[in-house]
Amino acid sequence: MATVKLTNVKKVYDNKVVAVHDFNLDIADKEFIVFVGPSGCGKSTTLRMIAGLEEISDGIVEIDGEVVNDLQPKDRHIAMVFQNYALYPHLTVFENMAFSLRLKKYPQKEVYERVTKAAEILGITEYLTRKPRALSGGQRQRVAIGRAMVRDSKVFLMDEPLSNLDAKLRNQMRAEIILLRQRIDTTFIYVTHDQTEAMTLGDRIVIMKDGYIMQVGTPTEVFEMPDNLFVAEFIGAPKMNTFKTDLLYENGKYYVTPFGAKIEVDGYKGEKLAEMNVKPQEIILGVRPEHIVLAKAGGENAIKCTIEVNEMMGSEVHLHVKTESGERLIVRVPTINLSFEEREALIYGAKVYITFEGKVMHFFDKEKEHNLLIKREESTSQDEEDYSLE
């Protein structure tokens, strides 16, 4: 059992820099939680407060129901893996992993058993007698994880453990962390600035910005129903296209009017707008690059664009296009349904027509930038006018 609970947790550095504002989160036993957000948003600070490496300015941190605010790091039963591994260069891999057990005067036999078992899980048995300098980055990272594994930790904290690795190794280690998680059945809190890592590793993701939580949800939830424009643009790559447009309501139907088109918001998104009683207004519309499709010239709701950049990725091509009104959009086009000639025609300066459907649209308030399909507590008298009953 290892739950972690943060209640109104705040961090102020030097009485002036508020690094974390009012952080509230309930982490379940054995859950894999990822804190993600741009550099400086307070991820490491929050993790370090949980670990006991940073004083908590305000609020409560509980591990397994016990308030740990005043406990030393060593008494919190947590294990932490850092970005820079922090291995002892003069010790072998075995002794690096055994270090904390030796400090605690574990019997020799138990040290041996714990280290060899962790090494086996991590696939580093053959390197146990080597020094860290004789290992690759990925192998060093595994030793750092192994060192954390040998202890009786209730919670595993990892701060950007893969960010020093090259792209290929990072993908490989990401898969290994998923396997590791299946083998060491414990609670994980993982910090990264990389949305792909967050999406692929997390049971739930905590998206942060400027010391505030912007959304907490499963990867599917934050991708399909981003709470606000920040989350919408942060999750997903290439990032969601967002632009101002009018939301209209005519004869019981909603429409948007991007770049001269008039597209009905059909399907469940339209139903949801009606259910939420969203008033016609200028909005920020969001459409993911993979949800825009090529259309025929002159076809219904075909938006004319010019190709500015063509990034051929093999199975898909990323087109950076410009609308006639000068808006720049990114379109991900799968190449499988295109003929060779059609693919070759997607070049700089070529005209293409694009369109998208109601079900792929995301609607944001143009000032507050929140998702108009998510219920808010505050409501103004204007919101109460009933447009869906016209």
Ligand X SMILES: Nc1ncnc2c1ncn2[C@@H]1O[C@H](COP(=O)(O)OP(=O)(O)O)[C@@H](O)[C@H]1O
Task: Output 46 or 241, the one with its CB closest to ligand X.
Answer: 46
Task: Output 106 or 212, the one with its CB closest to ligand X.
Answer: 212
Asked if 127 contacts 97 with a C-beta cutoff of 8 angstroms, the reply is: no
Distance, CA of 236 to CA of 230 (rounded, Å): 12
Task: Output 40 or 238, the one with its CB closest to ligand X.
Answer: 40
C-alpha to C-alpha distances, 79 to 50, 178, 330, nearest whole angstrom = 11, 17, 42
DSSP 173: H
Under the binding rule (CB under 6 A), the answer on residue 39 touching ligand X is yes
Would you give the binding string for ligand X spanning residues 106-145, x where CB under 6 A is met? ----------------------------------------
Task: Output 44 or 215, the one with its CB closest to Mg ion.
Answer: 44
> Least separation, in Å, of the C-beta of 189 and ligand X?
13
**In Å, how far from its chain's centre is CA 234?**
8
Identified binder of ligand X from the candidate list 41, 150, 284, 333, rule CB under 6 A: 41
Under the binding rule (CB under 6 A), the answer on residue 43 touching ligand X is yes
Task: Output 82 or 387, the one with its CB closest to ligand X.
Answer: 82
**In Å, how far from its chain's centre is CA 244?**
25
Distance, CA of 99 to CA of 97 (rounded, Å): 6
Segment interacting with ligand X, rule: CB under 6 A, options 35-43, 97-105, 163-171, 246-254: 35-43
> Least separation, in Å, of the C-beta of 369 and ligand X?
21
Distance, CA of 366 to CA of 229 (rounded, Å): 9
Segment interacting with ligand X, rule: CB under 6 A, options 10-18, 25-33, 124-132, 198-206: 10-18
Which residues are bridge partners to 187 per DSSP?
A: 155
> Least separation, in Å, of the C-beta of 191 and Mg ion?
6
The residue ranges that bind Mg ion (CB under 5 A) are 44
Task: Output 22 or 327, the one with its CB closest to ligand X.
Answer: 22
Q: Which helix (H) or strand (E) holds 10?
A: strand 4-13
Which option in ligand X, Mg ion, none does residue 40 bind, with CB closer than 5 to 8 A by kind? ligand X
Which option in ligand X, Mg ion, none does residue 96 bind, with CB closer than 5 to 8 A by kind? none
Task: Output 44 or 245, the one with its CB closest to ligand X.
Answer: 44
**In Å, how far from its chain's centre is CA 68?**
27
At 270 the three-state DSSP class reads: helix
> Least separation, in Å, of the C-beta of 48 and ligand X?
7
Under the binding rule (CB under 6 A), the answer on residue 44 touching ligand X is yes
**In Å, how far from its chain's centre is CA 184?**
23
Under the binding rule (CB under 6 A), the answer on residue 268 touching ligand X is no
Distance, CA of 120 to CA of 213 (rounded, Å): 38
Identified binder of ligand X from the candidate list 2, 4, 9, 19, rule CB under 6 A: 19
Gyration radius of the chain's alpha carbons: 25
Pair of tokens at residue 224: 């399909």
Distance, CA of 214 to CA of 208 (rounded, Å): 5
Segment interacting with ligand X, rule: CB under 6 A, options 9-17, 84-92, 98-106, 149-157: 9-17
Which option in ligand X, Mg ion, none does residue 289 bind, with CB closer than 5 to 8 A by kind? none
Distance, CA of 64 to CA of 314 (rounded, Å): 48
Under the binding rule (CB under 6 A), the answer on residue 40 touching ligand X is yes
All residues at 6 or more sequence positions from 129 whose CB lies less than 8 Å from its CB, including other chains = 92, 93, 94
**In Å, how far from its chain's centre is CA 248?**
33
Under the binding rule (CB under 6 A), the answer on residue 161 touching ligand X is no
Q: Which residues bind ligand X (CB under 6 A)?
A: 13-14, 17, 19, 37, 39-45
